[in-house]
Amino acid sequence: MRRLRLGWVAVVLGVCAGAVLPGPPARSASAASASSGAVPAVPLARLFDNVAISDDARPGAADFDGAGRSLSARDLSAAGWTPGRVLTVQGARLTWPGTAPGRPDNVRAAGQSVRLRGRGDALAFLVAGTGPGTGAGGGGAAGGTGTVRYADGSRSAYRLAAPDWRTGPLATKAVALPRLNTPAGPLAERARLYVVTVPLVRDRAVASVALPHDRDLHVFALSVRSVPPVRPAGRGWTGSWAAATSGYTSVGPWTDRTLRLVVHTSVGGPRARLRFDNTFASTPVRFGGATVAVRGAGAAAAGTPVPLAFGGARGVTVPAGAQAVSDPVPFAVPADADLLVSFHLPGTVTAAPVHRLALQRSYLSEPGDHTGESGPGAYTSTLTTWPFLTGVDVGGGPGTVVALGDSITDGEKSGTDTDRRWPNVLADRLLRQRAVPRYGVLDEGISANRVVADRYPGDGVSTDTGGVSAAHRLDRDVLAQTSARTAVVFEGVNDVRWGATADQVIAGLRELGTRAHARGVRVLAATIAPCQGEALCTAAADAHRTAVNAWLRRADGTFDGVLDFDAVLRDPGHPARLRAEYDSGDHLHPGPTGLAALADSVDLRLL
C-alpha cells in the first residue's frame, strides 16, 4: 500500500523530466501568432470559465465540480484568502482571484495559452482537481502535460497533477476549508487547495505557458517562482539558518505578547531578510512588528534591535498556509553567532506552526510590543520551540547546503543551548577552511520524521510534531530554500523501526533524488545508522536497514554521492550497534561526540 502511495506523491507533486524542446528563432509573440495561426497568450484571469466560490447566502451561484458544490467565500476570507490577495506559498507569489463570489474565478485546463513573464526555478500553480481526472494524473489526480515557451523561442515540457479538492492529501495542501457549499446547504467536509510546482529551465525568461488538457484540472493562479539561484559571492542571497515546521500545536494562549527567538547562524553577510511561515494553519496570524539583533546574553541584545519591514509596512498579516518574507535590511550578520529575532503578536494566538525540538531557550514577554528593546527585562518566560520563524538569509555568499533528516539531524541528545547538531559542526568546518566555498548550512531535521509516511497528518491542531513525510515536505524544506545547492538526505531509520520495508524506503529515497535533480539541486544520501538495543530496532528492522544501505552503496546514479554514516557510527565488532563512545545511551541517537564524527566524515568537496 505504501509503495502505491509513493507513486501518488510523485504524480501529485508534478515531477517533470524537464525536457527542453527545440523552438523557432526568437521573435515577437504577435509575429509568431500571425504566422502560425495560434491563439495568442493572454493573462490567466481572461481565461476564467468556471465558478468555484460562492456566497453562503447564494450557494447555487457557483458549481465547481459539476455537482453544484463550491468553496465558501466566508471560509476563504476567514483563512485570509481574500479577493486579489497576494499569497506567498513555498517561495512563490500567487494572486488569489479578485473576482466576486458567483463570478468566474478559475480556468478548467484545456490547452489554453497563458501569458506569463519571469525567470526562476519553477512554475507555481494554485490548483485543485475535481472528479477522477481524465488526464495523465489519474487515480484521483487531474492533470497532464503542458508546455513552457521561453522568450528565446525554445520550449520545455512539464507534467502537472492537481490532487482532488475533496480527497487529496492534507499533508501537501496549501489551505483547507472546513466545509463545502451546496445548493442544499453546507456540507461538513474539508475542501483543499494546492500549490504545485514544476521545474523550469533556470536561465531562460518565460514568455507563456500552455496548460494541460484535462478539464477536471482547475487553475486559480500561476506564477514563476523566483527562488534565488546560486550566484558568485557578493551577489544574491544565501541561507544562514532555517528550521522545518514539524507540526501545528496549541500554544499560550498568547495575547499582546512579544516572542524573542534565539537562532544560530552558519554564514554571515552584510544584509538580512527573514521568513515567517503560517504552515498548516487554518486562520491568519498578525505580526505587529519584528526586529533582529545580535545576541548579547540571555534575552539581551548586543545593540539596538534593527526593525524589519514587510512591503514597506511595519507589520504583516500572514494568511493560513502562507508565508511572509521581510524586506532586505542592512544588518551585519556575523557567522557562527546567535541572533535574537523578536516579533509582536498583537492579537490572540491559541495555536501555531512550530519546530518542536529547538534545543534552544528562547523568550516570551510580558504584555506589549517589546521588539525594539535591547534589555531582557520584559522577557520573563522561556520557550523551547521555534514558532512561526523558518529562515534567516544573508546577502551574498556561494549558496546553501540543506540537511534533510530526522532526530539525528535535528540534534536529539546534542544538548540544549550548545549548537552541537551535526549540521552546526559541518558549518563550523566550512568556516575554518578555504578548499571549497563557505556554504551556508540549513538544518531541516525533524525528530521522528520518516521518508514515506506522515507523522503529523498535515492539518489541524495536533500533539504529534513528527512532521509530514520527507516526500511531502521536500518542496518546502529543500527546493524552496534560498540558493539551495546541495541536499544531504539522512533518513530512513524511523521508517524501518515502524515497519516499512527496504523496498518502500528505497522507492522513497529514489523519488527524493529524482525530484531534487529535476530542480538542479545536487543530492547526497547518507546510509542509515545502526540502532540495535533500542526497543523498535528489531532484527527484522535491521535487515531492512542493511538492505537500504547496500542499495545506497551501489551508487546507481540516483545520488551525486553517498555519505557512509553507518560506517562512521557502527561498532566494528557489532555492526548492528552504535560504537559505545558515540552512543548517547539510548542506542538510537549519537551523542555530541558521535554527531561531531558525522560532520567530520563529510568530504567537503562533495558539497
In this predicted model, what pLDDT tens digit does every residue of 40-52 receive, in sequence order? 999 999 999 999 9
Task: Give the DSSP H or E segment for 511.
Answer: helix 502-518
Q: Which helix (H) or strand (E) holds 471?
A: helix 470-474
Could you give the 3-state DSSP secondary structure of residue 604?
helix
Residue 3 has pLDDT above 50, yes or no: no
Q: Residue 357 pLDDT more than 60? A: yes
Among the ranges given (22-26, 112-116, 186-190, 388-392), the one the predictor scored with the smallest mean pLDDT: 22-26
Asked whether the predicted pLDDT for residue 289 surpasses 90, the reply is yes
What number of helices (H) and strands (E) belong to the chain?
11, 35
Per the prediction, the chain carries an average pLDDT of: 92
Q: pTM of the entire structure? A: 0.93
pLDDT of amino acid 4? 33
Domain ranges of the chain: 2-225, 245-394, 398-607
> Residue 136: what pLDDT?
40
Helix axes 2-12, 502-518, angle to 10 degrees: 10
List, for residues 409-423, the tens digit of each pLDDT value.
999 999 999 999 999
Kindly tell me if the per-residue pLDDT of 446 is higher than 80: yes
Residues 118, 201: contact at Cβ < 8 Å? no
pLDDT at 141: 83
- The H-or-E segment that residue 73 falls in is helix 73-78
Distance of CA 178 to the CA centre of its chain: 23
Q: What is the pLDDT of residue 39?
A: 72
**Per-residue pLDDT tens over the stretch 60-116:** 999 999 999 999 999 999 999 999 999 999 999 999 999 999 999 999 999 999 999
Average pLDDT over residues 428-454: 98
| CA gap 159, 197 in Å, rounded | 10
> At the topology level of CATH, where does 398-607 sit?
Rossmann fold (3.40.50)
C-alpha cell at 489: 538526505
Residue type, 540: A
Confidence bin at 202 (pLDDT 50/70/90):
confident
Is residue 377 a contact partner of residue 410, using CB atoms and an 8 Å limit? no
* Rg (alpha carbons) of the chain, rounded to whole number: 24
What is each CA distance from 92 to 331, 476, 523, 555, in whole angstroms? 25, 10, 23, 34
Looking at 56-134, which runs of residues are DSSP E strands? 71-72, 86-89, 92-95, 107-110, 113-118, 122-129
Average pLDDT over residues 364-388: 98
Share of the chain above pLDDT 90, in %: 88
The answer to whether the beta carbons of residues 393 and 339 sit under 8 Å apart is no
Which pLDDT band, with edges at 50, 70 and 90, does 140 fall under?
Answer: low
Distance separating alpha carbons of residues 601 and 47, to the nearest angstrom: 55
Summarize the confidence of residues 237-245 as an average pLDDT.
98
As a whole number, mean pLDDT of residues 238-243 equals 98
> Could you tell me which residues come within 8 angstroms of residue 496 by beta carbon, excluding any fewer than 6 positions away?
502, 505, 528, 541, 542, 544, 545, 548
Q: Report pLDDT digits (tens) over 507-520.
A: 999 999 999 999 89
Query: Given pLDDT bands bounded at 50, 70 and 90, which one contains residue 271?
Result: very high
Q: What is the DSSP code string of 517-535?
A: HHTT-EEEEEPPPP-BTBT
User: Is the confidence at residue 545, as pLDDT, over 90?
Assistant: yes
In angstroms, the Cα distances linking 8 to 4, 133, 140, 142, 215 are 7, 13, 9, 12, 20
Residue 126 clears pLDDT 80, i.e. is over it: yes
- Could you read off the pLDDT of 551-574 as tens digits, one per residue? 999 988 999 999 999 999 999 999
Residue 228: pLDDT band (50, 70, 90) is low
How would residue 226 be classed by pLDDT, with cut points 50, 70 and 90?
Answer: confident
Sign of the torsion formed by the C-alpha atoms of 211, 212, 214 and 218:
negative
Residue 38 or 296, more confident: 296
Q: Which residues lie below 8 Å from residue 563, measured CB to CB, with a gap of 6+?
A: 488, 490, 524, 525, 526, 527, 601, 602, 603, 606
State mean pLDDT over 27-50: 68
The yes-or-no verdict on residue 189 having pLDDT over 70 is yes
| Cα–Cα distance for residue pair 137/125, rounded to 1 Å | 15
pLDDT at 131: 81
Query: CA dist 431 to 265, 427, 436, Å?
Result: 11, 6, 10
Work out the pLDDT band at 188, boundaries 50, 70, 90. Answer: very high
Residue 220: pLDDT above 80?
A: yes
Helix (H, G, I), strand (E, B) or coil at 352: strand
Q: What pLDDT shows up at residue 529? A: 98
- 302-330 pLDDT per residue, tens: 999 999 999 999 999 999 999 999 999 99
Q: Is the pLDDT of residue 10 over 50?
A: no
